[in-house]
Amino acid sequence: MKKRLILKVLGLLLLLPMFSGCNDTDDVAGIFTGKTWKLTYITKANGHGWYKFADVDDSNIMEYADGKKTFMLVFSGTVEDDIIQGTFTGSGAINANGTWSANGKNQEFGMKVEKGTPIAEKILEGMKKANSYKGSDSRNLYLYYQTDKENLCLVFAPN
């Protein structure tokens, strides 16, 4: 009798991993909300360092690179299934607000934003065109987008 009970318990323990399964979706609320994201730079996808826009003066970019100007984003939203959607506020050298959504299963991303100044236009263009993201709960947030010429990426770090 005791042997049967032990075998049943062992059998149930062996089945436990099958029921716990693997979750292949991102924790979108953990990635986006609960922190302020500071823009680090705009770069080519998978690149590092500021992208040189032909129609933006380098001194304007350097103000961001040197930290004289900043741009920060705060996301808020609610999660349903694998999708989070809500509002955001951008502040610093430019102000922006609007709506956004992200899909934790396939990393699709979208924003609706207002316009701003020269480099701000590039930041806001990237936010409007962003179609995917990569991120973690506490490190960098990457928002990827396509221009007429290249794949670019807005890179954010927690502030």
Tens digits of residue pLDDT in 120-152? 788 888 999 999 999 876 788 999 999 988 999
Which long-range contacts does 77-80 make (Cβ < 8 Å, 24+ apart)? 77/29, 77/32, 77/33, 77/101, 79/28, 79/29, 79/104
pLDDT reading at 15 higher than 50: no
Give pLDDT, residue 24. 67
pTM check: above 0.75 = no
- Contacting residues for 159 by C-beta, under 8 A, at least 6 apart: 35, 36, 37, 38, 72
pLDDT band for 4, please (50, 70, 90 cuts): low
Give pLDDT, residue 103. 94
For residues 8 and 14, give the distance between their C-alpha atoms in angstroms, rounded to a whole number.
10
Chain-centroid distance, C-alpha 69: 21
State the chain's mean pLDDT as an integer.
83
For residues 38 and 139, give the distance between their C-alpha atoms in angstroms, rounded to a whole number.
11
Give pLDDT, residue 37. 95
The one-letter amino acid at 40: T
pLDDT band for 159, please (50, 70, 90 cuts): confident
Higher pLDDT, 78 or 116: 78
